[in-house]
C-alpha cells in the first residue's frame, strides 16, 4: 500500500519538498494558511485539505514545516488542528525549527492518541529542498524513523537520529547558532580587511586553504562579496533560531556570550532591513559601520 503524505506549510522549504513527494509518486494532500501558495502543487497533482485536521485525517505520515513556535501551536492545536485529526498508528513529523520543549509536548500529545512523533528540523536551504538533498536532525524512536524512511528519502539525503524527542531541535538550534556566528565573524573580518585596504577576495582565497575554511565560505561568501542578499535562509528565521537557542541556553544554565552579542547585531540588521534579506545581510551592517 502506498503511504499517503500530508504537508502543512508551503513556504520556501515546504513547497519544494511537496514537489519532490509528488515526483516520487506519493499521494499528497496539502494545506497552507495562504491558499494561493498551493496552486502549483495542486496543478501538479496534490489534493487540497480544507484545514490541518482534514489533511491529518487523510495522511499516514503528516509533515509540518511552518515558521516558528506560535505557528506550530496553531496548526497542531488551533481550531481544526492537525493533532485531533491524526489517526492512531500514523506518524507526525515536524520539520519546523522550534524549541525542544515544544517537540516534547507534541510528542506527549501524540502518544496519548497512539500517534508516533518525530522532531525533524532540516538544513540545506532552498537548494537542498529543491534538489531533495536535505539533511534531517531527528529526535524520536528508531523504529518510527525506519518506518518513515522511504518518505524521508524522497526529500532528504542525510538522516541523523540524535536521541529522544527534542534532540533534533536541540542540535538544530546549536548548529544554526554556529552558522550565525561564522557569518558574523566573516563579516567583521571582511570589514577589517577591506577597511585596511586589502580586497575581500584575498581574504577568501587564504581562508579556503586554511583551517578556517567552512561550508559557509562556499555557500554564503560569494554572494556577500557581490553584495547580494536575496533570501535563501531568511534573516528573520535565523534571528528566531538564535533567540530560541539563547532561551534554551538560559533554561539550562549554559552561558553563550558570543551568541548573545551576535544576536544583538542580527536584531539591529533585522530592524533596519527594508527588504526581507538573507541572514548573510549581517555583512551589510559591518560594511556600513566601517565605511561611516
Residues catalogued as catalytic: 172
> For ligand NA7, which residue of 7, 46, 62, 65 counts as binding (CB under 6 A)?
65
**Helix H segments across 11-87?**
14-23, 39-43, 52-57, 69-77, 82-85
| Longest pairwise C-alpha distance within the chain | 65
What's the rounded Cα separation, in Å, for the pair 146 and 136? 14
Closest CA to 115 of 138, 137, 147: 147
Whole-number Å distance between alpha carbons of 61 and 273: 38
Which is nearer to ligand NA7, 21 or 286 (by Cβ)? 21
Nearest CB to ligand NA7, comparing residues 14 and 200 = 14
Q: How far is CA 145 from the centre of its chain?
A: 19
Among 20, 29, 59, 96, binds ligand NA7 (CB under 6 A): 96
x-or-dash string of contact with ligand NA7, 214-243, rule CB under 6 A: -----------------------x---x--
Tell me: does residue 59 bind ligand NA7 (CB under 6 A): no
C-beta closer to ligand NA7: residue 17 or 181: 17
**Does residue 75 interact with ligand NA7 by CB under 6 A?**
yes
Query: Please, what is the minimum distance in Å from the beta carbon of residue 124 to ligand NA7?
Result: 10
Q: How far apart are CA 48 and CA 56, in angstroms?
A: 12
Interface positions with ligand NA7 (CB under 6 A): 9-14, 32-34, 37, 65-68, 70-71, 74-75, 96-97, 237, 241
Amino acid at each position: 500500500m502506498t503511504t499517503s503524505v500530508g504537508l502543512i506549510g508551503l513556504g520556501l522549504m515546504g513547497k519544494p519538498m511537496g514537489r519532490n513527494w509528488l515526483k516520487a509518486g506519493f499521494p499528497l494532500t496539502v494545506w497552507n494558511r495562504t491558499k494561493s501558495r498551493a496552486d502549483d502543487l495542486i496543478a501538479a497533482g496534490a489534493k487540497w485539505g480544507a484545514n490541518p485536521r482534514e489533511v491529518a485525517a487523510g495522511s499516514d505520515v503528516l509533515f509540518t514545516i511552518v515558521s516558528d513556535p506560535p505557528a506550530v501551536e496553531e496548526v497542531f492545536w488551533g481550531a481544526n488542528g492537525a493533532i485531533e485529526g491524526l489517526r492512531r498508528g500514523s506518524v507526525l513529523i515536524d520539520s519546523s525549527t522550534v524549541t525542544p520543549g515544544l517537540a516534547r509536548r507534541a510528542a506527549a500529545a501524540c502518544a496519548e492518541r497512539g500517534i508516533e512523533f518525530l522532531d525533524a528540523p532540516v538544513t540545506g536551504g532552498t537548494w537542498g529542498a529543491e534538489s531533495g538533498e536535505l539533511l534531517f536532525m531527528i529526535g524520536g524512536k528508531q523504529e518510527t524513523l525506519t518506518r518513515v524512511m522511504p518518505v524521508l528519502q524522497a526529500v532528504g539525503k542525510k538522516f541523523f537520529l540524535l536521541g529522544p524527542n527534542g534532540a533534533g531541535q536541540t542540535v538544530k538550534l546549536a548548529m544554526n547558532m554556529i552558522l550565525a556566528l561564522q557569518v558574523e565573524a566573516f563579516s567583521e573580518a571582511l570589514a577589517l580587511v577591506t577597511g585596511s585596504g586589502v580586497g575581500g577576495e584575498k581574504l577568501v582565497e587564504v581562508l579556503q586553504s586554511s583551517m578556517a575554511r567552512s561550508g559557509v565560505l562556499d555557500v554564503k561568501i560569494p554572494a556577500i562579496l557581490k553584495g547580494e542578499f536575496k533570501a535563501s535562509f531568511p534573516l528573520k528565521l535565523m534571528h528566531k533560531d538564535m533567540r530560541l537557542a539563547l532561551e534554551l541556553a538560559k533554561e539550562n544554565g549554559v552561558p553563550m556570550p558570543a551568541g548573545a552579542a551576535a544576536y544583538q547585531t542580527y536584531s539591529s540588521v533585522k530592524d533596519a532591513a527594508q527588504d526581507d534579506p538573507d541572514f548573510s545581510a549581517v555583512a551589510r551592517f559591518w560594511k556600513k559601520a566601517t565605511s561611516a
